[in-house]
Amino acid sequence: MGVDIDNLDSDEILGKMESFIRDKRVQQIVTVNTEFLVASQKDQRFRAILSKSSINTADSVGVLWAAKFLSLPLITYPILDFLQALWQTLYTGLSIVFYPSYIRSVLKEKNSGSELIWKIAEKAAQNGFKIFLLGGYGDTPKIVEDRLREKFASLQVVGANSWDPDKEGIIEKIKARKPDILMVAYGSIKQEKWIEQNQQNLGIPVAIGLGGTFDYMAGKRPSPPQILRDIGLEWAFRLVTQPYRLKRIITAVPVFIWLTIQYKLQIQKPYRENVAAAVIRDDGKILICKRISGYKGYSFEGEHWQIPQGGIEKNETLEQALARELEEEVGITEFKNLGEIYNAHSYDWPIKLARESYYGKYRGQRQNLVFIRVPDSVQLRLDQKEFGDYKWVDVSDLRNLVHPVRHRLADEIYDNFEKFVK
C-alpha cells in the first residue's frame, strides 16, 4: 500500500541495530502489522513515519501474504483483472495454512515485537547494551524486566516504568539513564508517533514500539499458541479471548484484504509525471512555499511547506512544464537551468486519494527534479489559491521544514546540491 517493508531476517535486523548503537545514530524500528498499513491510508503523519523509519519489519503473516499477493501479475482488462485478483486472494490466502513457504517467497520472515524483544535482549546482554522499558500499565514493565533478567542475567535494564507519555519531565528522566535501546509500549501507532516526536531529544540510538508485547510477557493477556502465530490465525485466538477487539480485528483482516486488492489494481496504472523545482538564489538559499490547502479525508490537510511543483501535461516537455509551473505558482519567468534529475522520486498515493484524483487514472506520482538559479533580487508573485507565504532557507534545514511526505524529495535535493549548485 505504498509502505516499504525491509526483507530482513532477525539476525540482519539485530546486526543493523548493533551498528546503529555503535555509530550512535538515532534510528527508529517499526514492526509493521496490517492495522498499520490500513492506518497509513488515512493518516499522513503516520505514513511519513513508516516512510522514514530506519527498519520496517513484517509483524504479521498478513504482511507476508500481501507482499506475495502483490507480486503476482494481473491481466490488464477491466473487470477481468478484478476477478483474477479475487482468485489470487483465495489461493494465496489458503496457502498461509497449507503451503506457508509459498507465502514467504517475497518477504522471507515475520519479525513481530513479541519475537524480537527476546532476541534484542539477548543481543543487548551479549554486548553490554542498556535497555529502557517504557509503557504498559502499573507493574507491567517491571514484570517484563524480571522475565528478561531470568533468561539473560547480565542484561542491563536501566529503567522499567509505565509513565504516562504526557508526564512532565519524562524525556529528561529517560535521558539521565542513558539507554542504548528504548522499548515503548504505549499502544500501536500512538507509540510510533511518540517515538518519532521525541527520539531526537532523547538521543537514544534505537527505539522500537512493542504494542501489547509487555502485556503478553507479563501475563496480563493470554498469548496465542505458536501454531496459530505460524499460520496467521492470532486474530482468531484474540477474537475468542478478547472479543472487545472485534473492531480492530475487522480492520486487520477483512478491511486490510479489501484495501490490498484495491491497491493491487491501483499499481497497474501509470504514475502521473511531475516536475519539482529547487529554486536557488545566488546566495545559496532555497525557496519553499506554504501550501494553504490539502486533501480532504486524509490528514495532509491544512498548511504545510513544500517546494514549487506541478504536473506535466500531455504533449508537454519537462522544460515547458517547469516554465509554466514557475510562472503560475510563484511568478518566476527568468531563471537559469542548473540541471535535472529524471525520476528523482516516485511514490504511490493512498488508495482513496488515487481513486478520487484525476479520474482514478494514476497510481501515484513520479517526480522529476530540476535545479534552477535566480538572482537575489528576484520578485515573487504567489498563486493565492495555492500558496499563502514563502521563505528562503538553507538547504540543510529543508528536510526539517517541509511536510513529511516531501522528505524523500528533500533528501534528493540535499544529496545533489553541491553537484548542481556551484
Residue range 376-409, pLDDT digits in tens: 999 999 988 888 899 999 999 998 898 877 888 9
22 pLDDT higher than 60: yes
Residue range 312-358, pLDDT digits in tens: 998 899 999 999 999 999 999 999 999 999 999 888 989 988 998 88
The cell numbers describing 251, all together, are 480492520
pLDDT, residue 227, reads: 75
Pick the closest to residue 87 from 106, 67, 72, 103 (CA basis). 72
Please state, in angstroms and as integers, the Cα–Cα distance from residue 295 to each residue in 3, 42, 164, 307, 390, following that order.
19, 10, 33, 17, 21
Pick the closest to residue 350 from 285, 301, 400, 291 (CA basis). 301
pLDDT, residue 294, reads: 57
295 pLDDT higher than 60: no
pLDDT, residue 72, reads: 97
Q: Max CA-CA distance within the chain?
A: 70
Evaluated on CA atoms 122, 125, 130, 133, the torsion sign reads positive
The CATH class, in words, for 271-420 is alpha beta
- Average pLDDT in the chain: 90
How far is residue 278's CA from residue 286's CA, in Å, rounded to a whole number? 7
Top-confidence range, 32-36, 135-139, 298-302: 32-36
Per-domain residue ranges of the chain: 10-265, 271-420
Cross-strand partners of 305:
290
Exposure string for 159-172, b = 16+ CB within 10 A, e = fewer: bbbbbebeeeebee
297 pLDDT higher than 50: no
Whether the full predicted model's pTM is greater than 0.75, yes or no, is yes
3-state SS assignment for residue 269: coil
The cell numbers describing 185, all together, are 509500549
**Amino acid code (one letter) for 257:** I
